[in-house]
Amino acid sequence: DARVTQTPRDKVTEMGQEVTMRCQPILGHNTVFWYRQTMMQGLELLAYFRNRAPLDDSGMPKDRFSAEMPDATLATLKIQPSEPRDSAVYFCASGSQGLAGGPSYNEQFFGPGTRLTVL
Amino acid sequence: KQEVTQIPAALSVPEGENLVLNCSFTDSAIYNLQWFRQDPGKGLTSLLLIQSSQREQTSGRLNASLDKSSGRSTLYIAASQPGDSATYLCAVSYQGAQKLVFGQGTRLTINP
């Protein structure tokens, strides 16, 4: 049963601390997305990668957020320093865009999310 | 600006009823449209994906339609069950950009 996994599931930290969230995309998928969900803003894209290359990070505050894919099985989202307004649920999703396929072409599959609370 | 709107924001119906959830989008140059389900405190589960060239997709009791010209999609749920209670999200991706633009969701409650 192929799934996107995310760690940690919950993180409580104090303002100013560094936070690192990790995502393991579905094996064989070549795109990875990071979304943030809040009550006020709903779901917003932060960054996405195709074949490990960053394609769009326009939704991410550049001064404190960074996203990387060290290899095809790991994506990371880092916040340094964290602030209370960063409190949200962060979702990772993966897909197989750009690859020949059937009805699932370009479909995105989401992980369970990391619930971040910054005090 | 590309926006996705879902109406109503919340819906409560008795078990067994057929129901329709609505999604509208401002830019008709979509690549595809995806419907998700989100249970409280959980991630998103993909329900149906409709490519821009398609008019509808079906999965079990779910049927999603797409009308690009009017900028609308509907999710039809037949014979609703209490287990269908969740928030349903519509998301659109556009030509040239693979990111999903989400609506705010419809919170559905099916009463036994």
- pLDDT higher than threshold 80 for residue A97: no
Interface probe for B, chosen from A6, A36, A37, A43 (most Cβ of B below 10 Å), is A43
**pLDDT tier for residue A102 given thresholds of 50, 70 and 90:** very low
Q: Stretch A3-12: mean pLDDT, rounded?
A: 96
pLDDT at B2 over 90: no
Give the model's confidence band at A56: pLDDT under 50 very low, under 70 low, under 90 confident, else very high: confident
In this structure, what token pair is assigned to residue A66? 């960074």
pLDDT, mean of residues B87-103:
86
Asked whether the beta carbons of residue B42 and residue A45 sit closer than 8 angstroms, the reply is no
User: Region B51-72: what's the mean pLDDT?
Assistant: 94
> Could you tell me if B87 and B106 are in contact, meaning their C-beta atoms sit under 8 angstroms apart?
yes
Of A5, A29, A3, A1, nearest to A105 by C-alpha is A29
**A46 to chain B: which residues are within 8 Å by CB?**
none
Q: Which residues of B fall within a CB distance of 8 Å from A111?
A: 43
Question: Does the pLDDT of residue A5 top 50, yes or no?
Answer: yes
CA dist., res. A34 & res. A44, Å (int)? 9
Q: Is the pLDDT of residue B59 over 80?
A: yes
- The tokens for A74 are 């790991």
Alpha carbon distance B110, B112 (integer Å): 7
pLDDT at A105: 54
pLDDT digits (tens, 9 = 90+) for A30-53: 899 999 999 888 999 999 998 899
Q: What mean pLDDT is predicted for residues B15-26?
A: 96
What whole-number distance in Å separates Cα of residue B23 and Cα of residue B6?
A: 5
pLDDT bin (cut points 50, 70, 90) of residue B96 is: low
Nearest-Cα distance to chain A for B68, in Å, is 18
| Contact (CB<8Å) B43/A42 | no
B22 has a pLDDT exceeding 60: yes
What was the pLDDT predicted at A1?
65
